[in-house]
Amino acid sequence: MYQPIVWNKDHIRILDQTKLPHQEVYIECRDLETVADAIRRLAIRGAPALGVVAALAMVLASQRSSCKNREEFFRELNHNSAYILMTRPTAVNMKWALQRLTDTLRKTDTGDVNHLKELLEQEALAIFQDDIEANRQISAYGQELVPDRATIVTICNTGSLATAGYGTAFGVMRAAHEAGKKILVVSCETRPLLQGCRLTAWELQKNNIPFVLITDSMAGYYMKKKGADLVIIGADRIAANGDTANKIGSYGLAILAHHHHIPFYVAAPVSTIDCDTCQGDDIPIEERSPDEVTCIGNQKIAPNGARVWNPAFDVVPYCFIAGIITEKGILRPPYTESIKKQCGNVRPRTMVN
């Protein structure tokens, strides 16, 4: 089975998702800059995966560090954290992972820089392993919501490619399939970069899960003509009121599900919950290059000079969400209460200087 992220002590081995589904090519990232470039150009993507890779990137940076004392070490760690955070502003998992690293190291009183480097690597690897375990728990809770012979609609990619392993929304479908349920996954292609077409379809084939691929604009008509039992998406950031930022197209899918009386679920680890963000309107939404819309691959498809708006994400209002599936259980409305209760177990987001 494929491993999207592999730690090899002095480098991170990343499966380049821009090459899928036709080529399985790995990138060896040996420094912070190479990791940042991989994140920017979406060679690695998916909020949980970004948290893991950001943590491991701090280890790579520390291996090259010439810091002499504790103060210099933390100053450099904060600088490197700020640098990697600038690559993708919407997904909160990177900020969560980097804060967890800082918190763990701050709890020690050692001034030995080599010891700090060892602790940094230990905590980064713990974040890696914790994400895999969280995925498994999310999937176990979520698959209980899936009836036998269910048709499940999803968008973008939330599988092993988007996490440290197994998947979130994809993991729910995978766990239902592994439990012997006869499911059919309807994968929206996910314009403009076609993650549902290139990545989710590839992972569904790898896991022998039956699926149908549709364009994003076909979702409503599919629901009307063929029906669906539930919609499950992932998340890049969940606000304190339950509003959820996810891949562009998620908002429209939620409206369609609501109109057709189909329950709409979000599957994400608690590290995706940002209790410091009150509502969806406060979530920063990344806007990407116009070329992603005007071109498919290297082929220009739009006329020269066409104006483009290309937000990478939109926000699903909490009122459309039937439940948020986490590794701690399924959060239910009212989310201001269920999330507030859960946030007692979520680390603060404010970066330590």
Beta strand ranges found along the chain (DSSP E): 5-7, 12-15, 26-29, 151-155, 184-188, 211-214, 230-233, 237-239, 244-247, 264-267, 273-274, 295-296, 299-300, 313-316, 323-326, 329-331
Average pLDDT, the chain: 95
Band (pLDDT 50/70/90 cuts) for residue 297 is confident
Domain tally, the chain = 2
Confidence (pLDDT) at 348: 42
Parent domain of 278: 139-345
Query: 246 or 342: whose pLDDT is higher?
Result: 246
Select from 136, 166, 196 the last residue of a domain.
136
Claim to verify: residue 13 and residue 58 sit in the same structural domain: yes
Q: Does 352 fall in a domain?
A: no
Claim to verify: residue 176 and residue 277 sit in the same structural domain: yes
Confidence (pLDDT) at 353: 36
Average pLDDT on 154-173 reads 97
CB–CB of 158/244 below 8 Å?
no
Q: Does 129 fall in a domain?
A: yes
Cis peptide before 147 (omega within 30 of 0): no
Length of the chain, in residues: 353
Claim to verify: residue 172 and residue 127 sit in the same structural domain: no
Which residues does the annotation mark as catalytic? 236
Query: 12 or 341: whose pLDDT is higher?
Result: 12
Q: Does 353 fall in a domain?
A: no
CATH of the domain at 38: 1.20.120.420
Average pLDDT on 113-137 reads 97
Average pLDDT on 127-156 reads 98
CATH of the domain at 247: 3.40.50.10470
**Above pLDDT 70, what percent of the chain?**
97
pTM: predicted TM-score of the whole model, two decimal places: 0.94
pLDDT greater than 80 at residue 346: no
Between CA 217 and CA 57 the distance in angstroms is 38
Average pLDDT on 114-135 reads 97
Claim to verify: residue 157 and residue 294 sit in the same structural domain: yes
The 10s digit of each residue's pLDDT in 222-247 is 999 999 999 999 999 999 999 999 99
Claim to verify: residue 162 and residue 271 sit in the same structural domain: yes
Q: Tokens in use for 238?
A: 């969940």
pLDDT greater than 50 at residue 4: yes
Confidence (pLDDT) at 343: 79
Q: Does 266 fall in a domain?
A: yes
Exposed / middle / buried, residue 329 (Cβ in 10 Å: 0-12, 13-18, 19+): middle
Confidence (pLDDT) at 285: 97
Claim to verify: residue 209 and residue 174 sit in the same structural domain: yes
Between CA 35 and CA 97 the distance in angstroms is 15
Cis peptide before 4 (omega within 30 of 0): no
Average pLDDT on 179-192 reads 98
Q: Does 194 fall in a domain?
A: yes
Q: Does 350 fall in a domain?
A: no
Q: Tokens in use for 279?
A: 């509502």
Select from 69, 103, 136 the last residue of a domain.
136
Q: Does 351 fall in a domain?
A: no
Residue 260, helix vs strand vs coil: coil
Select from 119, 136, 153 the last residue of a domain.
136
